[in-house]
Amino acid sequence: MTSPIITSTELNDEVKGHRTSEYPINPIFLNRWSPRAYSERKVSEQDLYTVLEAAHWAPSSYNDQPWRFILARTEEQLAIFHTFINEFNLSWASKAPILIMVASHKFRDNGDPNAPHSFDSGTAWGYLALQAKLLGLNAHAMGGFSREKARIALNIPEEFELHAVVCLGYQGDILSLPEALQEREVPNQRRPLTEVIIEGVMNP
């Protein structure tokens, strides 16, 4: 028996009027965005590990799977993460019930440098974000944190590169955000495809 295929068939109300695609794509790609307002509602272990399982099935060069996900979900663990997230991000991210450090190993098992480790780990983040949305969760990746402090606080060896801290949880009330962020709490649009697709060679 084959597993059921989970699909998203329509746009969420919050996305309508803010996002349109130039070509037909599955609505999951438009429905996924990065809210900053988080509810304090807990995420079940089942859903957390479903999200991480999806991320772990991302493709990688030579199937090296260089990504590592360091979790914070207890009060003690979250408090450690809060020490290295910058003040602006902490003003909203402190309410997220789960924080995930995305890191990647810079070397292959034989000791050779793994040039695409960042590229592969970015793909894993994309899988994570889409699976989160399919479960009714939101994931917001942020780069605003001190890598030096995080490396010390989480005891991360130098052979790992630190990419982002991901907030994972349920969407909260927009009024819980600082006033300056409330106006920005809408799904954003994308550049026209003509700006990002180049056929042949790139012109200066």
Let me know if 69 is exposed, middle or buried by CB neighbors in 10 A (0-12, 13-18, 19+).
middle
Q: Are 42 and 97 in contact (CB under 8 A)?
A: yes
pLDDT of amino acid 4: 42
In this structure, the dihedral spanned by the alpha carbons of residues 51, 57, 60 and 66, taken in order and rounded to 10 degrees, is 50
Per-residue pLDDT of the chain (204 residues; tens, 9 = 90+): 344 444 556 899 899 989 999 999 999 999 999 999 999 899 999 999 999 999 999 999 999 999 999 999 999 999 999 999 999 999 999 999 999 999 999 999 999 999 999 999 999 999 999 999 999 999 999 999 999 999 999 999 999 999 999 999 999 999 999 888 998 999 999 999 999 999 999 887
pLDDT of amino acid 3: 40
In the block, tokens 């479960």 appear at 135
Which pTM value belongs to this model?
0.91
